[in-house]
Structure 1
Amino acid sequence: MFQIKHIARECIPAALEKAERYRLLNEPALAESICLDILDADPQHAKAIITLLLAITDQFGTADPADISRARQLLLRLPNEYEQKYYAGIICEREGLSIFTRGMRGSHFAAYEWLREAMELFEEAEAIRPPGNDDALLRWNTCARLIMRHQLEPAEEQYVEPPLE
């Protein structure tokens, strides 16, 4: 229907600054659109990939349920294993928070599982982090505090003995 207009490569820094500002203004859909324009001009622009991933996760619970898949697909485009693990943890953390915030039946258990998965990914990122980068530790601590503050726990699996014939 419409043909998307392309931005010039020299406009990428200003466009990225706008995308980051829109995220801060809680306008993630606008940030997402700008990142898509940047990536159209420079498909390997790491900062635009990260900003797009974060803009998508900003919309968890309010937009398309397929957003988790879209965010995870971006992980493959990140330049190194540390960033892939770290941002995979952020995806899980934000999905857990989204589920917890909605407060549906069983959401405490689901949120716990997502946050624990995030913590495992942050631990993997911590093991390979660049010197002087404690971001994964900070995120792990945030997840741990959320679990403790809200007393989240895993669902108890109940084993039922099948009847004898």
Structure 2
Amino acid sequence: MDLSLHDIHADSIELALDKARQYRSLLEPEIAESICLDVLHIEPENQSALRIYILALTDQISISGSQSPFQELELAIARLKSDYDQIYFTGLFHERRARFMMTQPMSRAFAYDFFIKALQCYQQAEAIRPEHNDEATLRWNSCIRTIQREKLKPVSDSGDVLLDRES
């Protein structure tokens, strides 16, 4: 049996992207990622496929034991043609890292810094947003509420004491 990848048909791209969206909704981002890679193989600059691919990769940040796809995310974000999309998805990338860090006892203290990076991106994205697009505002508000609810602080303000190696 030949174990090589098969190309999809160009006329099935929209249906494939619908499937990718469904698999993300079913919490199966690896399958959504695979579908997007199939589409991008046929149409490397397909912006819808890139956006879904980025979302599927960020979905996987929080999966325990999953290899963090940070480099793939950065490369995919750089391929987005819209300045707004590049800034917005960079913010989303930082936000999802922050939310994952909140679940990790040893990393929780650093979540605040990634939320701040996300907020900076969302603020830039808000300034250049397409008309009637409040995605960045919604993400901003969600980050602010999480910081407040979780009482997150910068590492230097958190009261954590670093032990001196000589003590």
Q: Same fold (TM over 0.5)?
A: yes
Superposition deviation, residue 91 in structure 1: 0.3
- 2:84 aligns with 82
Superposition deviation, residue 112 in structure 1: 0.6
- 1:128 matched to 2:149: no
Task: State how far apart, in whole Å, the 1-side matches of 2:62 and 2:85 are.
Answer: 24
* 1:1-165 aligned within 5 A: 2-62=3-63, 63-65=66-68, 67-101=69-103, 103-105=104-106, 107-156=107-156
* Partner SS, residue 98 of structure 1: helix
Unaligned runs of 5+ in 1: 159-165
- 1:163 aligns with none
Task: State how far apart, in whole Å, the 2-side matches of 1:87 and 1:61 are.
Answer: 16
- Answer whether contact 2:32 2:53 (CA < 8 A) is retained: yes
Which deviations, in whole Å up to 9, do the C-alpha atoms of 1:18-66 show, x marking residues without a partner?
Answer: 000000000000000000000011111101000000000000043113x
Unaligned runs of 5+ in 2: 162-167
Superposition deviation, residue 117 in structure 1: 0.3
- Answer whether contact 2:62 2:96 (CA < 8 A) is retained: no
- Answer whether contact 2:109 2:154 (CA < 8 A) is retained: yes
Task: State how far apart, in whole Å, the 2-side matches of 1:137 and 1:61 are.
Answer: 23
Superposition deviation, residue 109 in structure 1: 2.0
Letter in 1 for 2:91: G
Identical positions, percent: 37
Task: State how far apart, in whole Å, the 2-side matches of 1:83 and 1:64 are.
Answer: 24
> Which has the larger displacement, 1-10 or 121-130?
1-10
Task: State how far apart, in whole Å, the 2-side matches of 1:5 and 1:148 are.
Answer: 48
- Answer whether contact 1:20 1:31 (CA < 8 A) is retained: yes
TM-score normalised by length of structure 2: 0.89
- Answer whether contact 2:125 2:136 (CA < 8 A) is retained: yes
- Answer whether contact 1:99 1:110 (CA < 8 A) is retained: yes
Let me know the Cα RMSD of the aligned residues: 1.6
Letter in 2 for 1:155: V
Letter in 1 for 2:12: C
Task: State how far apart, in whole Å, the 1-side matches of 2:94 and 2:28 are.
Answer: 21
Q: Give runs of ≥4 in structure 1 deviating > 6 Å.
A: none
TM-score normalised by length of structure 1: 0.90
